[in-house]
Structure 1
Amino acid sequence: MAKFWNFVFFQAGWFACIIGAANNQVLWPVIACLLYLAIHIWRSEHSIAELKLILKALIFGVSADSLIANLGYLNFQDAWPSPYLSPFWMWTLWALVASTINGSLSWLRGKPLLGAALGAIAGPLSYEAGIRMGAGSWGVHGQLGGLIYLAIVWGAAIPLFFYWHRRHIGTSLEQDQ
Protein backbone atom coordinates (compact mmCIF):
# COMPACT_ATOMS: atom_id res chain seq x y z
CA MET A 1 0.00 0.00 0.00
CA ALA A 2 2.94 2.37 0.67
CA LYS A 3 4.03 2.08 -2.98
CA PHE A 4 0.56 3.07 -4.12
CA TRP A 5 0.57 6.20 -1.94
CA ASN A 6 4.11 7.00 -3.04
CA PHE A 7 2.86 6.98 -6.65
CA VAL A 8 -0.21 9.07 -5.78
CA PHE A 9 1.81 11.69 -3.88
CA PHE A 10 4.43 11.84 -6.64
CA GLN A 11 1.75 12.44 -9.28
CA ALA A 12 -0.09 14.97 -7.11
CA GLY A 13 3.18 16.81 -6.43
CA TRP A 14 4.09 16.82 -10.11
CA PHE A 15 0.72 18.25 -11.16
CA ALA A 16 0.72 20.80 -8.34
CA CYS A 17 4.20 22.09 -9.22
CA ILE A 18 3.50 22.21 -12.96
CA ILE A 19 0.14 23.95 -12.57
CA GLY A 20 1.66 26.27 -9.98
CA ALA A 21 4.55 27.17 -12.29
CA ALA A 22 2.20 27.75 -15.21
CA ASN A 23 0.22 30.18 -13.03
CA ASN A 24 3.18 31.76 -11.16
CA GLN A 25 1.93 30.21 -7.90
CA VAL A 26 4.63 27.72 -6.86
CA LEU A 27 5.01 28.51 -3.17
CA TRP A 28 2.22 26.26 -1.84
CA PRO A 29 2.88 23.31 -4.14
CA VAL A 30 6.57 23.37 -3.20
CA ILE A 31 5.79 23.61 0.53
CA ALA A 32 3.33 20.70 0.25
CA CYS A 33 5.89 18.59 -1.64
CA LEU A 34 8.61 19.37 0.87
CA LEU A 35 6.28 18.38 3.69
CA TYR A 36 5.55 15.08 1.92
CA LEU A 37 9.29 14.50 1.37
CA ALA A 38 10.02 15.15 5.06
CA ILE A 39 7.37 12.61 6.07
CA HIS A 40 8.64 10.17 3.43
CA ILE A 41 12.21 10.39 4.76
CA TRP A 42 11.07 10.19 8.40
CA ARG A 43 8.99 7.05 7.72
CA SER A 44 11.68 5.40 5.62
CA GLU A 45 13.33 2.28 7.02
CA HIS A 46 16.72 3.82 6.18
CA SER A 47 16.09 7.55 6.65
CA ILE A 48 19.69 8.70 6.28
CA ALA A 49 20.17 6.62 3.12
CA GLU A 50 16.92 8.01 1.69
CA LEU A 51 17.97 11.58 2.48
CA LYS A 52 21.39 11.04 0.84
CA LEU A 53 19.74 9.64 -2.29
CA ILE A 54 17.34 12.59 -2.52
CA LEU A 55 20.16 15.11 -2.08
CA LYS A 56 22.33 13.44 -4.75
CA ALA A 57 19.38 13.23 -7.14
CA LEU A 58 18.63 16.88 -6.45
CA ILE A 59 22.19 17.94 -7.30
CA PHE A 60 22.16 15.76 -10.43
CA GLY A 61 18.80 17.17 -11.57
CA VAL A 62 19.58 20.82 -10.87
CA SER A 63 22.88 20.45 -12.73
CA ALA A 64 21.32 18.69 -15.72
CA ASP A 65 18.31 21.00 -16.05
CA SER A 66 20.43 24.12 -15.57
CA LEU A 67 22.90 22.96 -18.23
CA ILE A 68 20.14 22.14 -20.73
CA ALA A 69 18.49 25.52 -20.09
CA ASN A 70 21.76 27.45 -20.32
CA LEU A 71 22.56 25.70 -23.62
CA GLY A 72 19.31 27.15 -24.96
CA TYR A 73 17.20 24.01 -25.23
CA LEU A 74 14.74 24.66 -22.43
CA ASN A 75 13.11 27.68 -20.76
CA PHE A 76 11.40 27.45 -17.41
CA GLN A 77 8.50 29.55 -16.20
CA ASP A 78 9.95 31.30 -13.12
CA ALA A 79 13.65 31.93 -12.70
CA TRP A 80 13.85 31.78 -8.90
CA PRO A 81 16.42 31.48 -7.31
CA SER A 82 18.61 32.46 -10.30
CA PRO A 83 18.26 32.85 -14.06
CA TYR A 84 21.28 30.51 -14.36
CA LEU A 85 19.74 27.65 -12.37
CA SER A 86 16.62 25.62 -12.91
CA PRO A 87 13.78 26.95 -10.74
CA PHE A 88 13.18 25.76 -7.21
CA TRP A 89 9.94 23.96 -8.15
CA MET A 90 11.97 21.77 -10.53
CA TRP A 91 14.32 20.93 -7.67
CA THR A 92 11.27 19.69 -5.79
CA LEU A 93 10.29 17.47 -8.72
CA TRP A 94 13.75 15.86 -8.81
CA ALA A 95 13.48 15.12 -5.09
CA LEU A 96 10.03 13.61 -5.67
CA VAL A 97 11.43 11.34 -8.39
CA ALA A 98 14.15 10.18 -6.00
CA SER A 99 11.45 9.35 -3.44
CA THR A 100 10.00 6.80 -5.89
CA ILE A 101 13.21 4.74 -6.17
CA ASN A 102 12.45 2.76 -3.01
CA GLY A 103 8.71 3.22 -3.50
CA SER A 104 6.58 3.01 -6.61
CA LEU A 105 9.56 2.45 -8.92
CA SER A 106 11.15 -0.26 -6.77
CA TRP A 107 10.02 -2.87 -9.31
CA LEU A 108 12.87 -1.57 -11.52
CA ARG A 109 15.51 -2.59 -8.96
CA GLY A 110 18.10 -4.83 -10.63
CA LYS A 111 16.84 -3.90 -14.12
CA PRO A 112 19.15 -1.05 -15.21
CA LEU A 113 18.40 -1.36 -18.94
CA LEU A 114 14.67 -1.21 -18.34
CA GLY A 115 15.19 1.71 -15.95
CA ALA A 116 17.28 3.52 -18.56
CA ALA A 117 14.64 2.91 -21.24
CA LEU A 118 11.82 4.05 -18.97
CA GLY A 119 13.78 7.14 -17.95
CA ALA A 120 14.72 8.00 -21.54
CA ILE A 121 11.06 7.86 -22.57
CA ALA A 122 9.08 9.01 -19.53
CA GLY A 123 11.45 11.83 -18.50
CA PRO A 124 11.24 13.81 -21.76
CA LEU A 125 7.50 13.10 -22.03
CA SER A 126 7.05 14.60 -18.57
CA TYR A 127 8.84 17.78 -19.67
CA GLU A 128 6.76 17.93 -22.85
CA ALA A 129 3.58 17.62 -20.77
CA GLY A 130 4.78 20.36 -18.42
CA ILE A 131 5.58 22.63 -21.33
CA ARG A 132 2.18 22.02 -22.90
CA MET A 133 0.60 22.90 -19.54
CA GLY A 134 2.50 26.22 -19.51
CA ALA A 135 5.32 25.58 -17.03
CA GLY A 136 8.03 26.35 -19.58
CA SER A 137 8.91 26.31 -23.25
CA TRP A 138 11.47 24.86 -25.61
CA GLY A 139 14.48 27.10 -26.04
CA VAL A 140 15.99 28.72 -29.10
CA HIS A 141 17.39 25.39 -30.32
CA GLY A 142 13.96 23.80 -30.39
CA GLN A 143 12.06 20.81 -29.14
CA LEU A 144 13.99 17.97 -30.81
CA GLY A 145 17.35 18.91 -29.32
CA GLY A 146 15.78 19.42 -25.91
CA LEU A 147 14.06 16.03 -26.02
CA ILE A 148 17.32 14.33 -27.04
CA TYR A 149 19.27 15.91 -24.18
CA LEU A 150 16.50 15.05 -21.73
CA ALA A 151 16.40 11.44 -22.96
CA ILE A 152 20.14 11.14 -22.30
CA VAL A 153 19.84 12.72 -18.84
CA TRP A 154 16.86 10.64 -17.77
CA GLY A 155 18.19 7.46 -19.36
CA ALA A 156 21.22 7.84 -17.08
CA ALA A 157 19.33 9.19 -14.05
CA ILE A 158 17.08 6.26 -13.19
CA PRO A 159 19.79 3.53 -13.16
CA LEU A 160 22.14 5.95 -11.38
CA PHE A 161 19.57 6.64 -8.66
CA PHE A 162 19.13 2.90 -8.10
CA TYR A 163 22.90 2.49 -7.90
CA TRP A 164 23.15 5.29 -5.34
CA HIS A 165 20.27 3.83 -3.36
CA ARG A 166 21.90 0.39 -3.27
CA ARG A 167 25.21 1.92 -2.13
CA HIS A 168 23.54 3.96 0.62
CA ILE A 169 21.48 1.03 1.88
CA GLY A 170 24.62 -1.13 2.03
CA THR A 171 26.44 1.59 3.98
CA SER A 172 23.42 2.09 6.23
CA LEU A 173 23.19 -1.64 7.00
CA GLU A 174 26.90 -1.79 7.85
CA GLN A 175 26.54 1.13 10.26
CA ASP A 176 23.56 -0.53 11.97
CA GLN A 177 25.64 -3.60 12.82
Structure 2
Amino acid sequence: MPRILINLALFQIGWFACVVGAAGGWPWGGVAVAASVAAWHIWRSPRPRPEIRLMLVAAAVGVAFDSLLVAGGLLTYASPVPLSGMAPVWIVAMWACFATTLNVGLRWLHGRTRLATMFGAAGGPAAYLGGEALGGVALSMPAIAALALGWGVIMPLLIAVAVRFDGWPATPVRQ
Protein backbone atom coordinates (compact mmCIF):
# COMPACT_ATOMS: atom_id res chain seq x y z
CA MET A 1 0.00 0.00 0.00
CA PRO A 2 1.47 3.38 -0.92
CA ARG A 3 2.76 5.47 1.94
CA ILE A 4 0.46 8.36 1.02
CA LEU A 5 -2.64 6.24 1.60
CA ILE A 6 -1.20 4.83 4.82
CA ASN A 7 -0.36 8.35 5.99
CA LEU A 8 -3.82 9.72 5.27
CA ALA A 9 -5.55 6.68 6.77
CA LEU A 10 -3.50 6.89 9.96
CA PHE A 11 -4.28 10.59 10.31
CA GLN A 12 -7.99 9.86 9.90
CA ILE A 13 -7.76 7.18 12.59
CA GLY A 14 -6.03 9.67 14.91
CA TRP A 15 -8.57 12.39 14.13
CA PHE A 16 -11.52 10.07 14.70
CA ALA A 17 -10.06 8.69 17.95
CA CYS A 18 -9.52 12.22 19.30
CA VAL A 19 -13.04 13.41 18.46
CA VAL A 20 -14.88 10.27 19.55
CA GLY A 21 -12.73 9.93 22.67
CA ALA A 22 -13.48 13.52 23.71
CA ALA A 23 -17.18 13.17 22.90
CA GLY A 24 -17.29 10.02 25.02
CA GLY A 25 -15.53 11.65 27.96
CA TRP A 26 -12.28 9.78 27.41
CA PRO A 27 -9.98 12.34 25.74
CA TRP A 28 -6.76 10.59 26.74
CA GLY A 29 -7.67 7.61 24.56
CA GLY A 30 -7.66 9.85 21.49
CA VAL A 31 -4.43 11.47 22.62
CA ALA A 32 -2.83 8.02 22.90
CA VAL A 33 -3.93 7.07 19.38
CA ALA A 34 -2.80 10.40 17.87
CA ALA A 35 0.53 10.15 19.70
CA SER A 36 0.96 6.62 18.36
CA VAL A 37 0.31 7.84 14.81
CA ALA A 38 2.86 10.64 15.30
CA ALA A 39 5.40 8.21 16.78
CA TRP A 40 4.96 5.79 13.89
CA HIS A 41 5.39 8.67 11.42
CA ILE A 42 8.60 9.79 13.13
CA TRP A 43 9.91 6.23 13.25
CA ARG A 44 9.26 5.76 9.51
CA SER A 45 10.66 9.14 8.48
CA PRO A 46 14.07 9.08 6.79
CA ARG A 47 14.84 12.36 8.62
CA PRO A 48 12.82 12.43 11.86
CA ARG A 49 14.22 15.62 13.42
CA PRO A 50 12.60 18.02 10.90
CA GLU A 51 9.30 16.15 11.21
CA ILE A 52 9.37 16.56 15.00
CA ARG A 53 9.98 20.29 14.56
CA LEU A 54 7.08 20.50 12.13
CA MET A 55 4.79 18.73 14.61
CA LEU A 56 5.80 21.14 17.37
CA VAL A 57 5.13 24.17 15.15
CA ALA A 58 1.76 22.80 14.03
CA ALA A 59 0.75 21.99 17.61
CA ALA A 60 1.73 25.50 18.75
CA VAL A 61 -0.16 27.17 15.89
CA GLY A 62 -3.14 24.91 16.49
CA VAL A 63 -3.36 25.49 20.23
CA ALA A 64 -3.09 29.26 19.69
CA PHE A 65 -5.75 29.32 16.96
CA ASP A 66 -8.19 27.02 18.71
CA SER A 67 -7.69 28.77 22.05
CA LEU A 68 -8.57 32.09 20.39
CA LEU A 69 -11.75 30.53 19.02
CA VAL A 70 -12.65 29.16 22.45
CA ALA A 71 -11.88 32.48 24.16
CA GLY A 72 -14.01 34.28 21.57
CA GLY A 73 -16.95 32.01 22.31
CA LEU A 74 -17.01 30.65 18.76
CA LEU A 75 -16.63 27.03 19.77
CA THR A 76 -16.84 24.82 22.82
CA TYR A 77 -14.97 21.54 23.08
CA ALA A 78 -16.10 18.34 24.71
CA SER A 79 -13.65 17.20 27.41
CA PRO A 80 -11.85 20.55 27.86
CA VAL A 81 -8.81 18.96 29.52
CA PRO A 82 -6.51 20.19 31.10
CA LEU A 83 -7.80 23.79 31.24
CA SER A 84 -11.23 25.13 30.48
CA GLY A 85 -11.14 28.15 28.18
CA MET A 86 -8.27 26.82 26.06
CA ALA A 87 -7.82 24.25 23.35
CA PRO A 88 -7.91 20.84 25.05
CA VAL A 89 -5.03 18.38 25.02
CA TRP A 90 -6.76 16.17 22.47
CA ILE A 91 -6.85 19.10 20.02
CA VAL A 92 -3.13 19.67 20.51
CA ALA A 93 -2.57 15.97 19.78
CA MET A 94 -4.79 16.23 16.71
CA TRP A 95 -2.77 19.17 15.36
CA ALA A 96 0.47 17.22 15.82
CA CYS A 97 -1.15 14.26 14.10
CA PHE A 98 -2.28 16.55 11.25
CA ALA A 99 1.33 17.67 10.79
CA THR A 100 2.21 14.10 9.81
CA THR A 101 0.28 14.65 6.56
CA LEU A 102 2.01 17.86 5.46
CA ASN A 103 5.07 16.24 3.87
CA VAL A 104 3.44 12.98 2.82
CA GLY A 105 -0.30 12.89 2.09
CA LEU A 106 -0.58 16.64 1.48
CA ARG A 107 2.79 17.02 -0.25
CA TRP A 108 0.93 17.93 -3.44
CA LEU A 109 0.23 21.33 -1.80
CA HIS A 110 3.96 22.19 -1.60
CA GLY A 111 4.58 25.32 -3.67
CA ARG A 112 0.86 25.80 -4.37
CA THR A 113 -0.07 28.65 -2.05
CA ARG A 114 -3.42 29.50 -3.64
CA LEU A 115 -4.49 25.88 -3.68
CA ALA A 116 -3.36 25.45 -0.06
CA THR A 117 -5.38 28.54 0.88
CA MET A 118 -8.52 27.20 -0.81
CA PHE A 119 -7.98 23.71 0.59
CA GLY A 120 -7.58 25.11 4.10
CA ALA A 121 -10.55 27.47 3.82
CA ALA A 122 -12.81 24.58 2.77
CA GLY A 123 -11.26 21.61 4.55
CA GLY A 124 -10.71 23.24 7.94
CA PRO A 125 -14.36 24.12 8.55
CA ALA A 126 -15.43 20.75 7.10
CA ALA A 127 -13.31 18.93 9.70
CA TYR A 128 -14.81 20.98 12.53
CA LEU A 129 -18.33 20.31 11.22
CA GLY A 130 -17.48 16.61 11.20
CA GLY A 131 -16.24 16.95 14.77
CA GLU A 132 -19.47 18.68 15.70
CA ALA A 133 -21.55 15.88 14.15
CA LEU A 134 -19.64 13.38 16.31
CA GLY A 135 -20.09 15.43 19.49
CA GLY A 136 -16.52 16.64 19.94
CA VAL A 137 -17.19 20.34 19.51
CA ALA A 138 -20.09 22.79 19.42
CA LEU A 139 -19.82 25.60 16.88
CA SER A 140 -21.57 28.96 16.81
CA MET A 141 -22.70 30.23 13.42
CA PRO A 142 -19.88 32.82 13.10
CA ALA A 143 -17.39 30.03 13.82
CA ILE A 144 -17.63 28.73 10.25
CA ALA A 145 -16.47 32.06 8.80
CA ALA A 146 -13.70 32.35 11.40
CA LEU A 147 -12.58 28.78 10.68
CA ALA A 148 -12.55 29.39 6.91
CA LEU A 149 -10.54 32.57 7.34
CA GLY A 150 -8.16 31.06 9.88
CA TRP A 151 -7.56 27.86 7.97
CA GLY A 152 -7.17 29.85 4.74
CA VAL A 153 -4.19 31.54 6.39
CA ILE A 154 -2.88 28.65 8.49
CA MET A 155 -2.80 26.00 5.77
CA PRO A 156 -0.40 27.78 3.37
CA LEU A 157 1.74 28.84 6.34
CA LEU A 158 2.00 25.26 7.60
CA ILE A 159 2.79 24.07 4.08
CA ALA A 160 5.63 26.63 3.91
CA VAL A 161 6.92 25.40 7.28
CA ALA A 162 6.61 21.81 6.04
CA VAL A 163 8.78 22.60 3.02
CA ARG A 164 11.39 23.96 5.44
CA PHE A 165 11.10 21.00 7.85
CA ASP A 166 10.77 18.13 5.40
CA GLY A 167 11.82 14.76 6.73
CA TRP A 168 10.69 12.81 3.67
CA PRO A 169 12.43 12.47 0.30
CA ALA A 170 10.66 14.01 -2.67
CA THR A 171 10.74 10.74 -4.57
CA PRO A 172 8.90 7.70 -3.26
CA VAL A 173 10.94 5.04 -1.55
CA ARG A 174 10.13 1.37 -1.50
CA GLN A 175 8.39 0.17 1.61
* TM-score, scaled relative to structure 1: 0.89
- SS of 1:75's equivalent? strand
Structure 1, unmatched stretches of 5+, are 171-177
Q: Which residue of 2 aligns with 1:42?
A: 43
| 1:167 pairs with 2:164 | yes
Q: Where does 1:33-72 land on structure 2 (aligned, <5 Å)?
A: 33-72=34-73
Spell out, residue by residue over 1:63-113, the C-alpha distance to the aligned partner (whole angstroms, 9 max, x if none): 000001101110001111111311111111111111101111111111111
Q: Which residue of 1 aligns with 2:147?
A: 150
- SS of 1:84's equivalent? coil
| Structure 2 contact 26–79 (Cα < 8 Å) conserved | no
* TM-score, scaled relative to structure 2: 0.90
Partner Cα distance (1:33, 1:57) in 2: 14
After superposition, the Cα gap between the structure-2 partners of 1:84 and 1:162, relative to the gap in structure 1 and judged at 3 Å, is: same
Deviation, 1:169, is 4.1
- Structure 1 segments of 4 or more deviating over 3 A? none
Q: Which residue of 2 aligns with 1:175?
A: none
Larger mean CA deviation between 32-41 and 59-68 belongs to 32-41
- Provide the aligned length of Structure 1 versus Structure 2: 166
Structure 2, unmatched stretches of 5+, are 168-175
- Report percent identity of matched pairs: 34
Deviation, 1:160, is 0.8
Root mean square deviation of aligned Cα: 1.4
| Structure 2 contact 58–99 (Cα < 8 Å) conserved | yes
Deviation, 1:29, is 2.2
| Structure 2 contact 103–166 (Cα < 8 Å) conserved | no
Partner Cα distance (1:43, 1:146) in 2: 36
| Structure 2 contact 11–37 (Cα < 8 Å) conserved | no
Q: Where does 1:82-97 land on structure 2 (aligned, <5 Å)?
A: 82-97=83-98
